[in-house]
Amino acid sequence: MKYDVRKITKDKCEIRLMPDSNTDKLLLLIKDENDKAVKADTFEYHYQRAVTFKFGPKAHLLGITEINYPSEVIADYVLEGSSIGGF
């Protein structure tokens, strides 16, 4: 999976998941709500990875807002050591 991450503000970014294999393409297909729930942890893993790749190992995903879920979301994140969240 490839990631396109664009910073929006100091604590928000847009993440686009871009499949680079047939397995990734199938992962992004959501059949129903149950399928969405089953895959939620996998998507969270990819969103965290995208934030880490873009902003470094001290960046932590806090949550997402769905735009075109799962392939496109707005993510809230924090950099460890910042004043947000007591880090």
In this prediction, residue 70 has a pLDDT band, given cuts at 50, 70 and 90, of very high
Strands (E), the chain: 2-9, 12-18, 59-68, 72-79
Distances (CA, A) of 59 to 17, 65, 66: 18, 18, 20
* Amino acid 86: pLDDT: 45
Q: How far is residue 87's CA from residue 84's CA, in Å, rounded to a whole number?
A: 6
Q: How far is residue 27's CA from residue 19's CA, in Å, rounded to a whole number?
A: 9
In terms of residues, how long is the chain?
87
Q: How far is residue 36's CA from residue 7's CA, in Å, rounded to a whole number?
A: 26
Q: What is the pLDDT of residues 8-63, one digit of tens each?
A: 999 999 999 999 999 999 999 999 999 999 999 999 999 999 999 999 999 999 99
